[in-house]
Amino acid sequence: MTLYLTQKDVESILSIKDAVDAVESGFKEMGLGQIEMPARVYLHFEKHNGVLIAMPAYIIGPDTAGVKVVTVHPDNPAKYGIPSVIATIILNDTKNGKPLAIMDGTYVTALRTGGAGACGAKYLSRKDSRSVAIIGLGVQGRSQLMGLCEVRDIEKAKAYDIVPEARKKYAEEMSHKLGIDVQPADSLESAAKGADIVVTCTPSPKPYLKGEWIDRGTHISAVGADTAAKRELESSLIKKVDKLVVDFMPQALVVGEFAGPISEGVIKKDNIYAELGEIVAGKKKGREGDNEITLFKATGLAIQDVITASKVYNLAKQRGIGKEI
């Protein structure tokens, strides 16, 4: 029998804390070399402005494996009233290949990405970080702030989106949800300036975050650009960063955030300090001083999906949630 879990099932099981813990353990296994994870496979639906991505992974320590199939169609909310990101995850029994579970992966994707940003901040931001700027106020704008509140004592957030109405709605919703002071920002500059942590989670095709807005000691989590066509950080910012950290080198080098600056000669591949897994596993140091500017570039990894989905599966079995098919 295979356990089937709907999005409502997954939402009833998975907390942001569960996601942060699962993703951190996945990064540790990666840093220890205990994973098998090929680069993502893309199908581009150019006439529909969409993409299908297949993301398989095997994590040797907890002996869990599976694949996520995710589609990204930015026009979905306006055209069809459905999410931009839609995902399904299949977990397999490594002993015999049998499907253990088929579950909605949309909520897993949202929370595990927030968990990845939080994990980057845990190891790279100042421990006394209290303020954050969130740029891009969609699903990820929410899960990133939720994740940060798990690893840092965040007291204040400034929220910016190109849609003015989204700023006030987000501020009201997240202030109530997290019990912190969330204020709408009128501009990118006013959001970023003075923040201890800056999170970018937009689908922008053009870089917009400037180096001159970023103070010494700031940590940046760049989450939005996950293809070569997207880019959020200007070269002036990339050049200013003291410690560049990525989730997975083969993916990070081809997305716009680094592909652009490398082609411009602003940085070289050797300027990338580490993969986050190396830091989590203790092979390299994270933040080494309060004056450092650090950057974590997240592209999204299959190990994050599989290890988080495994957590959901085990909790569902314990609680009797889902349908056996």
CA-closest candidate to residue 156, choices 145, 164, 144, 167 = 145
Structural element, H or E, at residue 96: none
Q: What are the φ and ψ backbone dihedral angles of 240, each rounded to 5 degrees?
A: -80, -20
Note whether 203 and 135 are within 8 A (CB). no
CB proximity list for 295: less than 8 A, separation 6 or greater: 124, 219, 220, 221, 222, 233, 238, 241, 243, 244, 245
Q: What are the φ and ψ backbone dihedral angles of 92, each rounded to 5 degrees?
A: -120, 145
**E-only strand ranges, the chain:** 3-5, 35-36, 41-45, 50-59, 64-72, 85-92, 99-104, 131-135, 156-160, 181-184, 197-200, 219-222, 243-246, 272-275, 294-297, 323-324
Annotated catalytic residue within 28, 68, 122, 243 = 68
Tell me, yes or no, if 297 is annotated catalytic.
no
Locate 211 and state its tokens: 């180096």
Note whether 311 and 14 are within 8 A (CB). yes
Catalytic residue numbers read 68
